[in-house]
Amino acid sequence: MHLTITLHGRYKTLAGSSQLKITIPDNATIWHVIDTFIHQYPEVAKDKSRMMVTKNHSYVSPDTPIHKTDSISIAPPLVSGG
């Protein structure tokens, strides 16, 4: 399936765009989206377990199934200045 994901923060800067077109299997989960993004931008691999991902504007876990009509967004992890 083909998806256009929305990127935020430094991911948007890294990609040079707020949107990224990807191709993933039809039975994909959020993990597929994350792995595809990391494959294209290996420098974000250190963020893998902490990426903030939304599906249809709600935060979801990586094992959440996705469909071609879903809106997917990825943001880098938040850093606390605490």
What's the total number of domains in the chain? 1
pTM: 0.90
Burial 14-41 (b: 16+ CB within 10 A, else e): bbeeeebebebeeebbbbbbbbbbbeee
Q: Classify residue 39: in a domain, yes or no.
A: yes
| Alpha carbon distance 47, 1 (integer Å) | 25
Q: Which residues make beta-bridge pairs with 79?
A: none
> Could you tell me the residue range of the domain that residue 14 belongs to?
2-75
Per-residue pLDDT of 40-49, as tens digits, reads 999 999 999 9
Per-residue pLDDT of 67-76, as tens digits, reads 999 999 999 9
Q: Classify residue 58: in a domain, yes or no.
A: yes
